[in-house]
Amino acid sequence: MNTKITTLSFRTILPVCFLIITSVLFSSSTLLSQSCTVTGPLNVPLNTHILYLTDISGQNWEVYSYNGAQAQILFSNDDSLLVNSGPTPGNFTVYVLSNPQYNNLCSVNVTVDLTLPVELSSFTATADERNVTLSWTTVSEENNSGFQIERSLANEDWRSAGFVNGAGTVNSPVNYSFIDNNVPSGVYRYRLKQTDFNGNYEYHNLRNEVTIGTPDKFSLHQNYPNPFNPVTKINYDLASDEFVKITLYDISGKEIKTLVNEFRQAGFHSAEFNASELTSGIYIYKLESSGFTAVRRMMLVK
């Protein structure tokens, strides 16, 4: 019996092996590596919150501090990480790790230093009766979205008083001001919450407290706005603790409504009036307290 044996030459085997090896290497490379990026600031000041984002999801985050830095993870999810830069200068690295292999997919190196993205050279306040004017100057700004103005009484929570837009990125001084109107009597603290376009923020505290005292005389101010529709505000000043009554009349002298009828301490006060149920026209409001009476007109235009 004759057996025919078929043999393959080396030239025949080589291309097949090359295709198999190439396929295996390509598959391994695809499995072991992914293309991703991490976005976020690379230079940050001390004690700030920094947000980092990645363009892939379902991964793990890790932060490694060195050269004296003490960065800490505050919060993380599949594609975002919030880090506190810590109280000391140095460096830290943000890693995006695969799950469950924990291979390093991508990372960024961050420097923590003493340089603030927005540096203030001054921050002052002046009070004029019930109005507080805040003024501050920056030496330079980097990525500055703006300033949230916050106010608080002693031992009370901070509350927002307004917002002033920042200048973005500049290398020259910028002057800012903000007027906090109709502040009630009391002793106040103020601070600025500077926020950049990435959501990072830094507080700047006013060194001194601001006192809104009591007026030296009784006054009834013109309502504002005037003319109005339908809400306006009436400001009045009391030089001493008094029982106060403010009454609204129509132009013929007919009593329409009592706006204030209570005891008030000395200071600067406001009464808000909503005239949505009244028709357009001229109305009169009258303030009465012990030894003081004042009358003014207001105009409702609908």
> Who wins on pLDDT, 154 or 294?
294
| Whether residue 6 has pLDDT greater than 60 | no
- Identify the CATH homologous superfamily for domain 39-113: Immunoglobulins (2.60.40.10)
Mean pLDDT for 195-199 is 83
Does residue 284 register a pLDDT over 80?
yes
Distance, CA of 270 to CA of 260 (rounded, Å): 10
pLDDT of residue 117: 75
Token pair for residue 299?
A: 């105009």
Q: Rounded mean pLDDT of 125-132? A: 91
| 34 pLDDT tier (thresholds 50, 70, 90) | low
| % the chain with pLDDT above 90 | 59
pLDDT at 114: 67
Q: How confident is the model at residue 21 (pLDDT cuts 50, 70, 90)?
A: very low
Pairing of strands 60-66, 90-97: antiparallel
* Mean per-residue pLDDT over the chain, rounded: 86
Q: What is the rounded average pLDDT of the residues 92-107?
A: 86
Whether the pTM exceeds 0.85: the reply is: no
What class does CATH assign to 219-300?
A: mainly beta
When pLDDT is averaged across residues 286-298 and rounded to a whole number, the result is 94
Answer whether residue 28 shows pLDDT above 70. Answer: no
DSSP string, the chain: ---PPP---HHHHHHHHHHHHHHHHHHHHHHH-----EES-SEEETT-EEEEEESS-S-EEEEEEETT---EEEEE-SSEEEEE--SS-EEEEEEEE-TTT--EEEEEEEEEES--SEEEEEEEEEEETTEEEEEEEEEEEEEEEEEEEEEEETTS--EEEEEEEEEEEESS-EEEEEEE-SPPSEEEEEEEEEEETTS-EEEEE-SS-EEE---SS-EEPPPBSSSBSSEEEEEEEESS-EEEEEEEEETTS-EEEEEEEEEE-SEEEEEEEE-TTSPSEEEEEEEEETTEEEEEEEEE--
pLDDT in tens, 129-150: 889 999 999 998 888 999 999 9
What's the Rg (C-alpha) of the chain?
34
Q: Which two tokens stand for residue 53?
A: 């984002």
Instruction: Out of 51-55, 75-79, 110-114, 177-181, pick the least confident.
Output: 110-114
Q: How far does CA 35 lie from the centroid of its chain?
A: 34
Is pLDDT larger for residue 154 or for residue 77?
77
Sorted by where each begins, the domain ranges of the chain are 39-113, 118-212, 219-300
CA–CA dist 244, 287 (Å, integer) = 7
Best CATH choice for the domain 118-212 from the list 2.60.40.10, 3.30.360.10, 3.40.50.11540, 2.40.160.60: 2.60.40.10
Has residue 13 got a pLDDT over 70? Answer: no
Q: Are 124 and 135 in contact (CB under 8 A)?
A: yes
Identify the band that residue 119 occupies on the pLDDT scale cut at 50, 70 and 90.
confident
